[in-house]
């Protein structure tokens, strides 16, 4: 056994999660590959919604697996827009950490981070939008929330 490898419960968990994501990506690649017994159609055909979702999930799995130290994101892929993914950062303890999480993802994806106050002035949405691996990615968080019924400082 290599003594230079760090073994802590967190490191072991990250390695195990990374391996699962790599395996899932490989399985998705197999699912997306055309069956060898079915001849290719003469003209390109549209992928099914499930295939488009699988392609999006594989791209996100690859992105997350290659950057395991990034802030945690709650990912969503819709059947209405399967080539897009929506990721919310809400597990971080406070607004500054959520804002920093969106900024970190924005930097990784090479895009600008924007902030927009809600119409009712109850929160600010921090957002990064980019394209990665042929998939449109939106990472966002709500910060600077005003409790219901309270007046904001603005």
Strands (E), 7-123: 74-76, 84-88, 113-117
Domain positions in the chain? 9-143
Instruction: Give the pLDDT band (50/70/90) at residue 20.
Output: confident
Length of the chain: 154
Q: What is the pLDDT of residues 31-75, one digit of tens each?
A: 665 544 444 433 335 788 888 888 889 888 988 999 999 999 999
CA separation for the pair 139, 98 (Å, rounded):
11
**Is the pTM higher than 0.85?**
no
Output the CA–CA distances (angstroms, integers) from residue 111 to 118, 128, 139, 154, in the order listed: 22, 6, 11, 28
| Alpha carbons 13 and 92: distance in angstroms, whole number | 19
Residue 125 near residue 115 (C-beta atoms within 8 A): yes
| pLDDT at residue 41, rounded to an integer | 36
């Amino acid at each position: 056994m290599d003594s230079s490898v760090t073994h802590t419960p967190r490191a072991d968990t990250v390695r195990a999660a990374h391996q699962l994501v790599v395996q899932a990506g490989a399985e998705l690649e197999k699912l997306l590959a055309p069956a060898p017994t079915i001849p290719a159609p003469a003209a390109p055909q549209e992928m099914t919604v499930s295939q488009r979702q699988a392609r999006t999930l594989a791209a996100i799995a690859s992105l997350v697996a290659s950057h395991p130290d990034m802030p945690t994101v709650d990912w969503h892929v819709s059947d209405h827009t399967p080539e897009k993914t929506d990721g919310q950062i809400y597990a971080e303890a406070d607004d500054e950490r959520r804002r920093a999480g969106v900024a970190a993802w924005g930097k990784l994806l090479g895009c600008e981070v924007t902030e927009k106050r809600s119409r009712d002035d109850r929160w600010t949405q921090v957002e990064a939008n980019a394209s990665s691996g042929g998939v449109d990615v939106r990472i966002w968080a709500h910060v600077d929330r005003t409790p219901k019924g309270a007046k904001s400082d603005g």
